Structure 1
């Protein structure tokens, strides 16, 4: 009897990076825009250099903590929902395994298998791990995509802090006389580079992504600087 040996060839897909790429880009983007906008606002209001530094540091810390708390609560809610769904699915499997088998088989038929093959696939997968099969194919829950609140919170806080550290460094190093222009100009560059880096990892057009991120960041800083100039002390 001839034996066939199947060797999987390595494949690399861009979608493998979507989860962490989105979180990292979002956090760093928020860090740059939030901190640079705060600095632009208080600088336009003619605040002292010490006040601007304090604002930038406070923005970094508060933003990182806010991102961590918000992401933790959001992802923890998702994890609770997944846990409840899995518990309900386990009960249904114990109560009526035949109905659950038909349900799983119907899912595979919708994906293109004929009824006989779908029935065999469902039977084999349920024999191996019924809950895992239903979690993956009925509920869309898998081990690689399951919610991890602590990991998500740490990633969001870390990426925000990295982004916020960039305009903070500019505040510490740039000349005080032209600080507002330095912060805005470098923030636009940082945002463009971030957009280009995200596009390179995701396999999308570099220029379009860089311009999109830079445009909205510039808009946010412009609005904040305008508010600061309107309500700040006269020069």
Structure 2
């Protein structure tokens, strides 16, 4: 019995598992959707609050931004990811056709790819033969295109995650602007939004494996700038009597 540890047990934090692209797809869409929902709706309601203390226009503008933004995010994710998945499926179909029509040429191509990675010609040919016998399509998709046939990203998953996350993100500034007394609406919204952005920045960096502090700083500064700008515009319009 072999005592060699499996790659998963040696490196449990590395993505040695199927479905990674699908999970990262909806996680990415969800985080981006939440971030956009927080910032865009917060900017809208803060801008309106800068011009008027009446709740009706703030609520109307916020709900319009929430509904329109959620639909826009879902549509954008669906179109974007559909293009990606259509391209991947076309490449998969092309590879299957080539394997049917020219198996010898494809075997030589696969061996050449392994040889280019540093294997000797004999070893590269042996690896190509064994992998082709096991699953020719998977071997070629992995070596040539870095695609897993069972892990093509779903446009519907991305669209649903983005729309749901945008809605959840947008609810926060809506509650922050509507619940407190008039004099506390804008300060409360600023604090709630910046804290929420810090969380989404940290999560997005965790997903991507990048610097948490840098990601948090980027989104917090960007969000604060957006809120300050829209509040200033609303205040100027309100003070000038335009609205």
The TM-score normalised by the length of structure 2 is: 0.84
CA-based RMSD? 2.4
Q: Give the distance between the partners of 1:169 and 1:197, measured in 2 at CA.
A: 22
Asked if 1:208 corresponds to 2:214, the answer is yes
Alignment of 1:78-227 (within 5 A): 78-143=84-149, 145-199=151-205, 204-227=210-233
Q: Give the distance between the partners of 1:65 and 1:127, measured in 2 at CA.
A: 47
Which runs of no fewer than 5 residues in structure 2 stay unpaired? none
Alpha carbons 1:71, 1:156 under 8 Å: kept? yes
> Where does residue 44 of structure 1 map in the other structure?
50
2:39 is aligned, of 24, 33, 41, to 33
Q: Give the drift of 1:57.
A: 1.9
The TM-score normalised by the length of structure 1 is: 0.87
Deviations 1:5-30 (A, max 9, x none): 54425233366675444323211111
Alpha carbons 2:92, 2:149 under 8 Å: kept? no
**Structure 2 counterpart SS, 1:138:** helix
> Where does residue 13 of structure 1 map in the other structure?
13
> Where does residue 77 of structure 2 map in the other structure?
71
Q: Give the drift of 1:31.
A: 1.0
State the 4+ residue runs in structure 1 displaced beyond 6 angstroms. Answer: none
Deviations 1:41-93 (A, max 9, x none): 11122262111112222222221111111111111111211121112112211
Q: How many residues are paired up?
A: 233
Q: Give the drift of 1:143.
A: 4.2
Alpha carbons 1:14, 1:202 under 8 Å: kept? no
**Structure 1 counterpart SS, 2:183:** coil
Deviations 1:150-186 (A, max 9, x none): 1111111111112111111112312123322221222
Alpha carbons 2:47, 2:235 under 8 Å: kept? yes
